[in-house]
Amino acid sequence: MTHRFNQCGLLEGPAVAAAPVWSVDPRTGKQREQVAVEATAQEVDAAVRAAHAAREALADRAVRAAFLRSAAAGLEQARDPLVGTADAETALGQVRLAGELARTAYQLRAFADIVDEGAFLDVVIDHPDATATPPVPDLRRYKVPLGVVAVYSASNFPFAFSVAGGDTASALAAGCPVVVKAHPDHPALSERVAEVLRRAAAEHGVPEGVVGLVHGFQAGIELIKHPLVAAAGFTGSVRGGRALFDAAAARPVPIPFHGELGSLNPVLVTEAAAAERAEEIGGGLAGSMTLGVGQFCVKPGLVLVPSGGAGDQLVKSLADAVAGTDAGVLLDHRMRDNFIAGVAERAELPDVDAPVTPGEGGEHTVSAGFLTVPAAKLTEEGDHDLLLEECFGPVTVVARYADEQEAKAVLSRLPGNLTATVQLSSEEAAGQGRGPELLAELTPLAGRVLVNGWPTGVAVAPAQHHGGPYPATTSTSTSVGGTAIERWLRPVVYQNAPEALLPAELKDDNPLGLPRRFNGRLER
Amino acid sequence: MTHRFNQCGLLEGPAVAAAPVWSVDPRTGKQREQVAVEATAQEVDAAVRAAHAAREALADRAVRAAFLRSAAAGLEQARDPLVGTADAETALGQVRLAGELARTAYQLRAFADIVDEGAFLDVVIDHPDATATPPVPDLRRYKVPLGVVAVYSASNFPFAFSVAGGDTASALAAGCPVVVKAHPDHPALSERVAEVLRRAAAEHGVPEGVVGLVHGFQAGIELIKHPLVAAAGFTGSVRGGRALFDAAAARPVPIPFHGELGSLNPVLVTEAAAAERAEEIGGGLAGSMTLGVGQFCVKPGLVLVPSGGAGDQLVKSLADAVAGTDAGVLLDHRMRDNFIAGVAERAELPDVDAPVTPGEGGEHTVSAGFLTVPAAKLTEEGDHDLLLEECFGPVTVVARYADEQEAKAVLSRLPGNLTATVQLSSEEAAGQGRGPELLAELTPLAGRVLVNGWPTGVAVAPAQHHGGPYPATTSTSTSVGGTAIERWLRPVVYQNAPEALLPAELKDDNPLGLPRRFNGRLER
């Protein structure tokens, strides 16, 4: 589609001034080092072209798998300096970050296994059938990589949702080179992780351009508009994600945009559950909502708790646990400002109380807290709808409901979510009462539905689904788990191609031993 | 998401005047009967709400399968009157239309089989694994229906891509009710087919609102904006499809839009193939490009033929065959006007010849023809790019290339296609020469790649893929074949849900016998 390049006007706009990119310590607000300069349109173009040129080197699945495994090993070998840099830039703590690095390496290896297995190719072979209506010729379908994938890193997972995170791992596994837009909260780490990936690529003869890295807000916009970018993955805010989604859709050739934008992650506590486990639930909620200083996309942000004594006890347990939480450092000072302003605006709404007041901690920290509100305030459109918007940081909203209908009315008004959780009593969990009904009611709200657990913690597993109705995600796909690879592929079918011309994946005798559908029958 | 309804403003706009909807005979241009009036915003809203209310009735897969089979039988039972109405409105001919009805019934039954098998649910079950990084809880994933699907009918397939066509069949199979926007070229047939579907629904206790039908351009726009519409399928023009795609993306809650817009369907004839089979290829091309008066989305619209004697012979065979083709009636008079103007504009370009002139036939018909142009005129941007745009009707463009590089240069400039075809010699088909290389070169261009065949005729089969890079389609999905069902589903995973609360599809002992991935292993 060379003739479309000029329509995009990428190289015709005014040159963007090269602004410095600083690594900043959120514990002090001070600049640590200048890491790079923001990429110009020309530099974005060069990164995308270099990635595009690396496609052929990824065509061999064995090379992809080996590359991913070397990348995992490279991360582990450089663990201490990488974790040190990450902690200096994000204040997330060395223990959490070492765990996140291990998860990221695990994920790279999991995608290597997926590449080896080859089920993701979705091979379907139909021999000719003259009796069908209309007759069926010889048809052989599998999936091919889309092309260069743009990856927009997250602030809150400097390893697992950033340069070597799930989007990159799944794209490389699919055979797609990537150009990563670094998150400004961890530019130094981004550069170092990119180096690890490039060294791993070079070990297997893959050009280093297979993983591009650019810094800068404007560079991110140039990237999504580039004619050679074929798809994008994003983890971040509703505002930023929607702007990029809109840009992807408005291109002369629109591209798939798999964005994870925002989620309230509602929790419903039944009367019976509160009666049975008020303290346990209150304590569990405190742990989940304050984990990582409340900076998880799956933080429970709205909790429906029954009114009455059991609910009161739950709220008291929550208050005791949250009050004992240390003040924490958020990822950057802009987030701190937004958190302080966001909780203040919410706390000022009529009938909203703050049993433990969230907000400013020390000079660079914030303190955890939570708000309560009668659920009746949330059953119809009004000022209290602000409480149904995600507030990033260590705060949650406890809505006290009078009866099942009121709780249901609030749930019916929520936008889409990554997760929805129900806390049930042991009898309800055993299938008595409204257990099955509640599970069915929560299913339309989210991509992951939990029973008697907490949404923080997203396992890397074949069945995982990290996505949900908009604005949780902008597509029906997942960014975590085995099926994340599906985002970067498209099917192609060969009709009456002679055996001699077929790729090995599509030959009758299945020399690669791939799972497939053969003449209608599933073969594994 | 009740609180978002008002943002859409659907019911707040000015009332749309109820314009009459006429059935028109394209053989005479005369009105046959008034079928309906165009739907107002209120009527679209009512149709969508009725469809939404029918979701529960589709929850049982056995009901869905039985409904689809009754719909197939209903079409067959009403075949003669339906084909008669279709022919009167489209002039496509009773033989072709009877075949298309049979195909449509076959497709409904194929989706019933897919529902029974249940592989489309993509069940993945992971038992807890404390050794993973991070630990894995109990996770059980499958796919659930998205909700109401808007289906935009095609002009050129009044059965197979219309009210009871592939979009409707796959959506109902997925558990999604539909609201169909009827095509103005066959409103009477649309009403009658909708009646067949509704009778089939009623047989199985499914509310008739499960298949809504609306007429009118403005109704189609209201439909895509309706908050309860969860996804859309479309078959039509680039202009109309892009407008609806843009509207779907611009919604407060964007929805997936699976549109099939336009395709040039390039054909490459190698030197050796021309030398070996010039007459056969010329005759085959004539048959394919004039089939159905050139009104197929997979009509070959650009054919790269070598210069020199063998190519000349191919063109002569094509000319002889096309010259002997009867004039034909297009689907409506607007299409006839566009065809006549479109071929005239193309024929006037410098260095373009018309060995058989396409254009006006009788008062209501058009005559088939083709244009030739040196391929060198198409290797760089310029006025001749008009020849790279689809022209609906019985015309194709033969570009004569001097060498392989010139042919490749033209192919590299094409937008995305539904199909790409290569005509090879017997030696090339056996794997000698550039056969495998040419297959690889055509793969990026299209969703279906054919060898030594013609793209017209789209089989209904598990491996079929009817889609391709934009503008062939607006997504990576297919509208024909078994995997078309994937468009109307989203995954949901249950975490630590007790056995007693799980749907039968996700229980360990697999009471429904579904194919699935269980603890990493594929089970079939």
Are the beta carbons of A447 and B490 separated by less than 8 Å?
A: yes
Are the beta carbons of A448 and B493 separated by less than 8 Å?
A: yes
Nearest to A465 by CA among B492, B145, B128: B492
Are the beta carbons of B249 and A253 separated by less than 8 Å?
A: no
pLDDT digits (tens, 9 = 90+) for A76-101: 999 999 999 999 999 999 999 999 99
Same domain, A364 and A483: no
Q: Mean pLDDT in chain B? A: 95
Distance of CA A114 to CAs A7, A286, A294, B298, B521, Å? 38, 37, 32, 35, 12
pLDDT value, residue A12: 43
Residue A214 resides in a domain: yes
Residues of B in contact with A501 (CB under 8 A): 429, 431, 435-436, 439, 451
Q: Which amino acid, one-letter code, is at B52?
A: H
Q: Which amino acid, one-letter code, is at A199?
A: R
pLDDT digits (tens, 9 = 90+) for A38-61: 999 999 999 999 999 999 999 999
- Closest chain A CA to residue B435: A501
Among A176, A191, A222, A297, the one annotated catalytic: A297
Contact A314, A274 (CB under 8 A): yes
pLDDT digits (tens, 9 = 90+) for B11-50: 444 454 589 999 999 999 999 999 999 999 999 999 999 9
Same domain, B211 and B344: no
Residues of B in contact with A414 (CB under 8 A): 1
Nearest to B250 by CA among A417, A474, A9: A474
pLDDT digits (tens, 9 = 90+) for B47-71: 999 999 999 999 999 999 999 999 9
Confidence label for A133 from pLDDT (cuts 50, 70 and 90): confident
Same domain, B176 and B284: no
Residue B79 resides in a domain: yes
- Which one of A97, A129, A133 makes the best mutation probe of the B interface by having the most chain B beta carbons within 10 Å? A133
ipTM of this complex > 0.90?
yes
Confidence label for B89 from pLDDT (cuts 50, 70 and 90): very high
Among A260, A271, A390, A441, the one annotated catalytic: A260
Contact A331, A90 (CB under 8 A): yes
- Token output for B257: 């839009």
Are the beta carbons of A482 and B124 separated by less than 8 Å?
A: yes
Lookup result for tokens 């794997």: B431
Nearest to A240 by CA among A255, A224, A254: A224
Contact A456, A485 (CB under 8 A): no
Nearest-by-Cβ selection for A449 from B253, B494, B523: B494
The packing angle between helices A79-90 and A187-203, to 10°, is 150
Lookup result for tokens 């997250």: A154
Ordered strands of the B139-145 beta sheet = A353-356, A369-374, A395-401, A302-306, A266-269, A417-423, A446-451, B489-495, B139-145, B123-126, B516-518, B521-523
- Closest chain B CA to residue A2: B413
pLDDT value, residue B3: 33
Confidence label for B489 from pLDDT (cuts 50, 70 and 90): very high
How far does the CA of residue B524 sit from the closest CA of chain A (Å)?
6
CB within 8 Å of B243: residues ≥ 6 apart: none
Cα B193 to Cα B190: distance, rounded to the nearest angstrom: 5
| Mean pLDDT computed over A102-129 | 98
| Mean pLDDT computed over B401-424 | 97
Distance of CA A337 to CAs A230, A385, A476, Å? 36, 21, 33
Confidence label for A13 from pLDDT (cuts 50, 70 and 90): very low
pLDDT digits (tens, 9 = 90+) for A320-353: 999 999 999 999 999 999 999 999 999 999 999 9
Coil/strand/helix, residue A424: coil
CATH of the domain at A345: 3.40.309.10
Residues of B in contact with A492 (CB under 8 A): 443, 446-449, 465
pLDDT at A1 > cutoff 70: no
- Catalytic status, residue B297: yes
Are the beta carbons of A492 and B413 separated by less than 8 Å?
A: no
| Mean pLDDT computed over B411-438 | 96
Cα B412 to Cα A259: distance, rounded to the nearest angstrom: 30
Nearest-by-Cβ selection for A461 from B126, B465, B500: B126
Are the beta carbons of A461 and B139 separated by less than 8 Å?
A: yes
Residue B16 resides in a domain: no
pLDDT digits (tens, 9 = 90+) for A417-453: 999 999 999 999 999 999 999 999 999 999 999 999 9
pLDDT at A394 > cutoff 90: yes
Radius of gyration of chain A from its Cα atoms, rounded to whole angstroms: 25
pLDDT value, residue B7: 36
- Which one of B141, B291, B386 makes the best mutation probe of the A interface by having the most chain A beta carbons within 10 Å? B141
pLDDT value, residue A132: 86
Cα B421 to Cα B272: distance, rounded to the nearest angstrom: 15
- Token output for B423: 């005509």
Cα A31 to Cα A35: distance, rounded to the nearest angstrom: 10
Q: How many CB pairs under 8 A join A and B?
A: 269
Same domain, B270 and B346: yes
- The alpha carbon dihedral of B327, B329, B333, B335 has a sign of negative
Cα B217 to Cα B233: distance, rounded to the nearest angstrom: 16
pLDDT value, residue A9: 35
Residues of A in contact with B129 (CB under 8 A): 461
Give the length of chain B: 524
How far does the CA of residue B464 sit from the closest CA of chain A (Å)?
7
Residue B458 resides in a domain: no
How far does the CA of residue B442 sit from the closest CA of chain A (Å)?
11
How far does the CA of residue B506 sit from the closest CA of chain A (Å)?
11
Same domain, B401 and B330: yes
Residue B88 resides in a domain: yes
Residues of A in contact with B416 (CB under 8 A): 1, 253
- Report the 3 state secondary structure along B393-422: CCEEEEEEECCHHHHHHHHCCCCCEEEEEE
Same domain, A342 and A204: no
HSE (side-chain half, CA atoms, 13 Å) at B383: 9
How far does the CA of residue A516 sit from the closest CA of chain B (Å)?
11
Residue B134 resides in a domain: no
pLDDT at B448 > cutoff 80: yes
pLDDT digits (tens, 9 = 90+) for B354-379: 999 999 999 999 999 999 999 999 99
Nearest-by-Cβ selection for A133 from B106, B129, B136: B106
- The CA-to-CA distance between both ends of chain A, in Å, stands at 38
DSSP class of B361: -
Are the beta carbons of B415 and A102 separated by less than 8 Å?
A: no
- Tell me how crowded residue A98 is: count the other CB atoms within 10 A of its CB: 17
Cα A273 to Cα A435: distance, rounded to the nearest angstrom: 11
- Closest chain B CA to residue A489: B476
Cα A406 to Cα A308: distance, rounded to the nearest angstrom: 14
Are the beta carbons of B385 and A452 separated by less than 8 Å?
A: no
Are the beta carbons of A435 and B475 separated by less than 8 Å?
A: no
Nearest to B47 by CA among B249, B184, B198, B244: B198
Residue A54 resides in a domain: yes
pLDDT value, residue A524: 82
- Please provide the DSSP assignment of B162-218 as one string: STTSHHHHHHHHHT--EEEE--TTSHHHHHHHHHHHHHHHHHTT--GGGEEEE-SHH
CATH of the domain at B58: 3.40.605.10
Q: What range defines the domain where residue A162 resides?
A: 39-261+476-488
pLDDT value, residue B6: 33
Nearest-by-Cβ selection for B449 from A414, A476, A494: A494
Cα B329 to Cα A105: distance, rounded to the nearest angstrom: 63
- The CA-to-CA distance between both ends of chain B, in Å, stands at 38
Q: Is A459 left (phi over 0), alpha (psi -120 to 50) or beta?
A: beta
Radius of gyration of chain B from its Cα atoms, rounded to whole angstroms: 25
How far does the CA of residue A424 sit from the closest CA of chain B (Å)?
10
Q: Is A315 left (phi over 0), alpha (psi -120 to 50) or beta?
A: alpha
How far does the CA of residue B126 sit from the closest CA of chain A (Å)?
6
Q: Mean pLDDT in chain A? A: 95
Residues of A in contact with B524 (CB under 8 A): 522-524
Strands B359-360 and A302-306, sheet pairing:
unpaired
How far does the CA of residue A476 sit from the closest CA of chain B (Å)?
5
pLDDT at A4 > cutoff 90: no
Share of chain A above pLDDT 70, in %: 97
Distance of CA A309 to CAs A271, A272, A321, A402, Å? 10, 12, 18, 12
Lookup result for tokens 């705060």: A395
Q: Which amino acid, one-letter code, is at B32?
A: R
Among B89, B260, B390, B406, the one annotated catalytic: B260
Same domain, A178 and A58: yes
Contact B231, B256 (CB under 8 A): yes
Among B38, B297, B441, B505, the one annotated catalytic: B297
Distance of CA B471 to CAs A347, B415, B476, B491, Å? 50, 7, 11, 27
Are the beta carbons of A253 and B492 separated by less than 8 Å?
A: no
pLDDT value, residue A18: 80
pLDDT digits (tens, 9 = 90+) for A214-227: 999 999 999 999 99
- Which one of A56, A486, A488, A495 makes the best mutation probe of the B interface by having the most chain B beta carbons within 10 Å? A495
- Which one of A490, A499, A502, A524 makes the best mutation probe of the B interface by having the most chain B beta carbons within 10 Å? A490
Q: Which amino acid, one-letter code, is at B167?
A: D
How many structural domains are present in chain B? Answer: 2
Cα A21 to Cα A33: distance, rounded to the nearest angstrom: 9
Coil/strand/helix, residue B349: coil
Give the length of chain A: 524
Does B498 sit behind a cis peptide bond, omega within 30 degrees of 0 on the bond before it?
Answer: no
Same domain, B358 and B405: yes
pLDDT at A456 > cutoff 90: yes
Same domain, B181 and B244: yes
Same domain, B236 and B106: yes
Contact A466, B139 (CB under 8 A): no
pLDDT at A163 > cutoff 80: yes
Nearest to A366 by CA among A300, A303, A292: A292
- Closest chain A CA to residue B425: A498
pLDDT value, residue B8: 34
pTM for the predicted model, two decimal places: 0.95
Residues of B in contact with A415 (CB under 8 A): 1, 4, 253
- Token output for B366: 């058009």
Nearest-by-Cβ selection for A106 from B2, B133, B496: B133
Are the beta carbons of A490 and B253 separated by less than 8 Å?
A: no
pLDDT at A197 > cutoff 80: yes
Same domain, B247 and B333: no
- Catalytic status, residue B391: no
pLDDT at A488 > cutoff 70: yes
Cα A7 to Cα B488: distance, rounded to the nearest angstrom: 33
- Token output for B403: 């060498």
Burial degree of B9 (CB within 10 A; 0-12, 13-18, 19+): exposed
- Tell me how crowded residue B296 is: count the other CB atoms within 10 A of its CB: 21
Cα A82 to Cα A103: distance, rounded to the nearest angstrom: 14
Are the beta carbons of B463 and A103 separated by less than 8 Å?
A: no
- Tell me how crowded residue B205 is: count the other CB atoms within 10 A of its CB: 11
Residue B413 resides in a domain: yes
pLDDT digits (tens, 9 = 90+) for B242-288: 999 999 999 999 999 999 999 999 999 999 999 999 999 999 999 99
pLDDT value, residue A17: 58
Are the beta carbons of B452 and A496 separated by less than 8 Å?
A: yes
Cα B14 to Cα A284: distance, rounded to the nearest angstrom: 52
- Which one of B113, B427, B443, B492 makes the best mutation probe of the A interface by having the most chain A beta carbons within 10 Å? B492
- Closest chain B CA to residue A480: B493
How far does the CA of residue B223 sit from the closest CA of chain A (Å)?
19
pLDDT value, residue B323: 97
Same domain, A244 and A278: no
- Closest chain B CA to residue A522: B524
pLDDT value, residue B9: 35
